[in-house]
Chain A
Amino acid sequence: AQRVTQPEKLLSVFKGAPVELKCNYSYSGSPELFWYVQYSRQRLQLLLRHISRESIKGFTADLNKGETSFHLKKPFAQEEDSAMYYCALSGTGTYKYIFGTGTRLKVLA
């Protein structure tokens, strides 16, 4: 079954602390993985995707096919990182995205 799992509903960290938002997936083919972010009162927007291998706003995510994970990491959290983060999967040859349930990140001052 195709599935994206984000085990944490809420993650609270202090400013300057490292943060890791977990994402595991289940997919039989070769998926493309994404992280989308939704800041307060804003629309969802792409944060990063695994094929780009970029660091956006200090965030990185590495696709680990062995562990079927795509965890989002940032070494030093900032208050402006507080938002809702969704991990998503797009299957090969399909236009359908599967979203995880999301993790709300709160960065405390």
Chain B
Amino acid sequence: GAVVSQHPSRVICKSGTSVKIECRSLDFQATTMFWYRQFPKQSLMLMATSNEGSKATYEQGVEKDKFLINHASLTLSTLTVTSAHPEDSSFYICSARGLAGGPGIGELFFGEGSRLTVL
């Protein structure tokens, strides 16, 4: 099946620094990727929709300047948490949608997630 890989799986950083998380579709092309935030034992909160070659679409309440998203290629999207603070500590998950003609048409494939801890 299609694989989505996230890196790093865990990152610890100091307050005020920026952290970049990568999301790659390994064996298929994804024009659209999604970034979620998951709180412990809670649901996924959609943060933004990442579109290849264009600006990301952010959900209401998500700060665009804090969570920078770049989707420069059909296989890579990045989420940069800028000037991170302890309240940004969370589990961030990306997903990519299977395209027509590719694996799992319409299905979402999820990365393994990245746990961010801001000290």
**A: which residues have CB within 8 A of B?**
32, 34, 36, 43-46, 49, 84, 86, 88, 90, 95-102, 104
Residues of B contacting A84 in the complex (Cβ-Cβ under 8 angstroms):
41
Nearest residue (CB) in A for B33 is A95
Q: Given known contacts A32-B106, A46-B107, A99-B43, what 10 new A-B pairs fall within 8 Å (CB)?
A: A43-B111, A43-B113, A46-B104, A46-B108, A86-B43, A96-B34, A96-B49, A97-B34, A102-B42, A104-B41
Contact of B46 among A49, A96, A104 (CB under 8 A): A96
Chain A: minimal CB distance from B105 (Å): 10
Chain B: minimal CB distance from A34 (Å): 8
Most chain-B Cβ atoms within 10 A of its Cβ — which of A32, A46, A84?
Answer: A46
How far is it, in angstroms, between the C-alpha of A104 and the C-alpha of B40 when the chains are bound? 12
Interface residues of B, count at CB 8 A: 19
Nearest residue (CB) in A for B34 is A97
Residues of A contacting B107 in the complex (Cβ-Cβ under 8 angstroms):
34, 46, 49
How far is it, in angstroms, between the C-alpha of A19 and the C-alpha of B106 when the chains are bound? 27
How far is it, in angstroms, between the C-alpha of A95 and the C-alpha of B97 when the chains are bound? 8
Evaluate contact between A101 and B42: CB separation under 8 angstroms.
yes
The answer to whether the Cβ of B110 comes within 8 Å of any Cβ in the partner chain is yes
Evaluate contact between A102 and B108: CB separation under 8 angstroms.
no
Residues of A contacting B46 in the complex (Cβ-Cβ under 8 angstroms):
96-99
Contact of A86 among B32, B44, B49, B113 (CB under 8 A): B44
Evaluate contact between B43 and A102: CB separation under 8 angstroms.
yes
Q: What are 5 A-B pairs with beta-carbon distances under 8 A? A: A32-B106, A34-B107, A46-B107, A99-B46, A102-B42
Contact of B43 among A34, A96, A101 (CB under 8 A): A101
Evaluate contact between A44 and B49: CB separation under 8 angstroms.
no
Residues of A contacting B95 in the complex (Cβ-Cβ under 8 angstroms):
44
